[in-house]
Structure 1
Amino acid sequence: MMRGAYSEVKLATPEVQAIADQVKPQLEKKENTTYKVFEALQYRTQVVHGLNYLIKVCISETEDQCVHLIVYVALPQEPSLTAYQLDKTKTDPLDPF
């Protein structure tokens, strides 16, 4: 993958779910809410001085509600939520923002 370009969309892996789980408290604090469902569905990566993950996360069991997250990961630091978009659905494209 070329530096700066996002990868193709891939199905979420257990590693991506773990990254989403690590930034979940950051999102909950920013939005002043608690998400009972937080299931990573898809992701893309971007090579920078570390990795940016663009992750589509389902946040509802009964509705088609998702959030898109941009998470920066640079070892040995913990993942950091750098941006997010609410009011997404499972069919919305996972495009950089």
Structure 2
Amino acid sequence: MSTMVGGVGQARPVDDELRSVVSQVRGDIEAKAGKQFETFEPVSYATQVVAGTHFFIKVNVGDSHLHAKVFRSLPPVSFEVKEVQLGKTAEDPVNSF
């Protein structure tokens, strides 16, 4: 199912695309959160197509989850962690923030 430009798509399970994004921005997410996590397992994500793509990512960090908003620019591709929300639960839906 394609995502309408500007709309946030449905949450999706982890896939190779998400693993690639997370591997590139983990350090930036931890820096924005102000700490390093022993456990850092992506759980799900949703995307929003803008002039690039926003990734709204749910990550299991051990005793809780975090949500990260990551922007991927159009070519040349770069990533920017826009926001990190700590203290999320496994049940909290990952969506636009």
Same fold (TM over 0.5): yes
TMscore range, shorter length: 0.7 to 0.9
What stretches of structure 1 of length at least 5 have no aligned partner? none
The two structures have a TM-score, normalised by structure 1, of 0.87
Amino acid at match of 1:70: K
Q: Secondary structure at the match of 1:24?
A: helix
Q: Secondary structure at the match of 1:82?
A: strand
The two structures have a TM-score, normalised by structure 2, of 0.87
Identity level (%): 30
Partner of 1:88: 88
Moved more, 45-54 or 10-19: 10-19
The Cα of 1:32 is off from its aligned counterpart by 2.9
Q: Secondary structure at the match of 2:7?
A: coil
What stretches of structure 2 of length at least 5 have no aligned partner? none
Partner of 1:54: 56
Moved more, 24-33 or 48-57: 24-33
Q: How many corresponding residue pairs?
A: 94
RMSD, matched Cα: 1.3
Q: Secondary structure at the match of 1:4?
A: coil
* Cα contact 1:21–1:38 (8 A) shared by 2: no
